[in-house]
Amino acid sequence: MKIRCLVVDDERLALEVMEAYIEKIPFLHLEKLCSTPMQALDFLSRNTVDLLFLDIEMPGLSGLQFLQTLKNPPAVILTTAYPQFAVDAFELNAADYLLKPIPFQRFVVAVQKIQSQLAEKNAAIQTNENLSKTREAHIFIKSGARTVRIDLAEILFIESKKDHVLVQSKHQKVTTQLSLSGLLEKLPSEQFIRVHRSFVVAIPKIESIERNRILMEKAEIPIGEFYREALQKRILGL
């Protein structure tokens, strides 16, 4: 995951240093350099970033004052030549505090901390989304003029055909104009996996895997070469 960065500093040299540092880190992406807080406010009104490098001492509006104006600030690393601002920085929940001149090694430590925090946050969000989907024991899909309820525990597999998608459950077959990928987004990822360009299967319904096919109740599902490795990692732990 690329971490989108915004740098705000009224010193040109400081901006150049931060730009050079960011370019050296593969997981960082520089969105914009701003020389005033007002430029940053304008940019943030139209764009979203993951990480803000913010100088504290700036004319007109200090970095700390600017930070207080943000309703939903991204992760923030404060930069300054004055160590006395450290307490204020952490009271505003800054993730880190870098003293100028900033050594590159110290910069790396700070952004690695941010990378870890954002990864944990994203993982938690994904887990909550998956749990939410799991708690939803059924989905509704449009099938012709009807809207059909399908219990997730009943689904065996989903097959993409020429002009429709077929949902095969234990007790019914339902066709829909939804795409296979669109339907997959409605399903909890821990229960369903795509195994072929045209097939999604319910993991709990897999009875056995033999070479290039999955065997399940009343069905044999082909395994696409592109999906084989992901299936092995998921099912077999290889």
Q: Which of 80, 115, 132 is the last residue before a domain boundary?
A: 132
Task: Tell me the pTM.
Answer: 0.56
**94 and 118 share one domain:** yes
**142 and 126 share one domain:** no
pLDDT over 70 for what percent of the chain?
92
**98 and 141 share one domain:** no
**100 and 146 share one domain:** no
Assign residue 159 the CATH number of its domain. 2.40.50.1020
pLDDT at residue 237, as a whole number:
60
Look up residue 233 and give its DSSP letter. Answer: I
Q: Which domain holds residue 158?
A: 137-236
pLDDT tens digits, 111-123: 999 999 998 888 8
**168 and 204 share one domain:** yes
Total number of domains in the chain: 2
**127 and 168 share one domain:** no
Lowest mean pLDDT among 127-141, 143-157, 160-174, 213-227: 127-141
Q: Which of 115, 132, 149 is the last residue before a domain boundary?
A: 132
C-alpha span between 13 and 33 (Å, rounded): 12
